[in-house]
Amino acid sequence: MSAALRSVNGEIRVDMRSFNTFSEIKNQLEKKLQRIDSYVLGTLVTLDMGDKRLSSKQVREIEDLLLDHGLHLRELRSNSKPREEEDENPFGDMPGYSDTALICRHLRSGQKVFCEGNLVILGDINPGAEVVAGGNIVVMGSLRGLAHAGAFGDERAIISAYRLSPTQLRIANHITRPPDGEVIVVSTPELARIRAGKVVIEKLKI
């Protein structure tokens, strides 16, 4: 059995559907490529993977292999859903709201902002300031005051901030505050959401 290789509009398509393991795929590809050295440098290649999924490391190996022959990987076609990508998206489960307000200033002590939908703040929220949103809250600065997301009871709402050090966080009807006496210095963006009935804070991975 061998892989079907076609040339369409100056691109190469390789059908890998009949192979199961990664080493088989790689061997077949290598064999085929030795025969097509005469192709123009920089030709794009599409691989049809069928139901199989490749890890990002395996994708890189294939890309390297193609590059050795002066070819570029254009696309890996696959029937299975890209599960990994969903896991990597921190906002995957975030509820959608049509209404979003953008606040382009610092919120100082005593100031309060409310929006029925999402709130995006380009600035800091200082201690004593409050932001309340029916949906999600994203702070592109330091969140040092109080933030309440999902104010109408949406437990899927999230609060994320470039620096998350609030006096209090509220999501739906959950209220949390930082632990007493502990000073935790985190110098990365973070995200707060409800998991298993508790407000948890996690590193924002984008």
Cβ-based burial of 22 (10 A; exposed 0-12, middle 13-18, buried ≥19) = middle
Least distance to other proteins from the beta carbon of 86, Å?
Answer: 37
* Binding to other proteins in span 138-177, by CB under 8 A: 142, 144
Identified binder of other proteins from the candidate list 10, 42, 92, 110, rule CB under 8 A: 110
Give the number of residues in contact with other proteins, rule: CB under 8 A.
13
Binds other proteins by CB under 8 A, chosen from 17, 108, 156, 174: 108
Q: Single out the segment in contact with other proteins by CB under 8 A; choices: 31-39, 73-81, 92-100, 106-114.
A: 106-114
Of the candidate spans 20-28, 41-49, 122-130, 146-154, the one that interacts with other proteins by CB under 8 A turns out to be 122-130
- Largest Cα separation within the chain, whole Å, is 73
18 counts as binding other proteins under rule CB under 8 A:
no
Beta bridge partners of 103: 121
Q: Check residue 111 for interaction with other proteins (CB under 8 A).
A: yes
Residues 179-198 that bind other proteins (CB under 8 A): none
- How far is 136 from 115, CA to CA, in rounded Å? 10
How many whole angstroms separate alpha carbon 61 and alpha carbon 40?
Answer: 21
Q: Applying CB under 8 A, which part among 45-53, 74-82, 120-128, 180-188 lies near other proteins?
A: 120-128
- When asked if residue 178 is in the footprint of other proteins (CB under 8 A), the reply is no
Stretch that binds other proteins, among 29-37, 54-62, 89-97, 124-132 (CB under 8 A): 124-132
For 162, the token pair is 């470039």
d(CA 9, CA 33): 18
Residue 126 or 160: the one with the smaller Cβ distance to other proteins is: 126
In 72-145, where do the E strands start and end?
Answer: 72-77, 100-103, 112-115, 118-121, 130-133, 137-143
- 128 makes contact with other proteins (CB under 8 A): yes
Interface positions with other proteins (CB under 8 A): 106-111, 124, 126-129, 142, 144
